[in-house]
Amino acid sequence: MQNAAVPELAHTHARPLHWLATATAMAAVVALAGLLTPDAAKASQAPGEQGAPLTTAAAPDAAAAAFPLDCGPLGTVVAQRASGDLDGDGTPETVAVVHCDAGGGTPPSGVYVLTPGAVKGAPPRVVATLVDPKDRQSATGLAVRDGVVAATVLGYSSDDVPRFAPDVRQDVKWRWRGGKFIRSTGAAAMGA
């Protein structure tokens, strides 16, 4: 039964030609939209605002930092580095694994978090020590992902273990919470 108020119209029945015309028109619209996309936005929000986009600021250069590591005349080696926004302020930090340039064995490492210098042109500042070289451990496999620092920390079960052959291994992660880095290990680090 047809509704008398709406008569049957011939153009309301879809035919293959109608579908082909519609598909062609849609393809043209999509192609045109791809050609007319605007340039990436250049504006940014103030640091610390919720949802603030990442800025184009460069991560601190670990090679330019002074580390709290006493190596005497040997000097220091930045063995690994990784960068990312750890505290959510939109500015990347750098995490560096640093040890003395001992030339052999497995010298203890320090794992340090760097932020840009206090004033433009100043060297990066060490703002946190995640692994202290005084603990006689070394770190490998450094990575920064989604605001989490991950590394494998190697150590020794006793003083009898040769310093070139660490026999204790821990997978560790650090996450910035409540104004400090919280360390998790083992199963907790795997889920962090």
- Residue 7 located in a structural domain: no
- Residue 55 located in a structural domain: no
Q: How many domains does the chain have?
A: 1
- Residue 176 located in a structural domain: yes
Q: Examine the pLDDT at 123 and tell me if it is beyond 70.
A: yes
pTM, to two decimals: 0.67
Inter-residue contact 109 to 99 (CB < 8 Å):
yes
- Residue 54 located in a structural domain: no
- Residue 104 located in a structural domain: yes
Query: Residues 44-82: pLDDT tens digits?
Result: 334 444 444 445 678 999 999 999 998 888 889 999 999
Residue ranges making up the domain that contains 93: 62-191
- Residue 115 located in a structural domain: yes
Stretch 117-134: mean pLDDT, rounded? 92
Query: Residues 139-173: pLDDT tens digits?
Result: 999 999 999 999 999 999 998 988 788 899 999 99
- Residue 74 located in a structural domain: yes
- Residue 178 located in a structural domain: yes
Contacts of residue 128, Cβ cutoff 8 Å, sequence gap at least 6: 112, 113, 180, 181
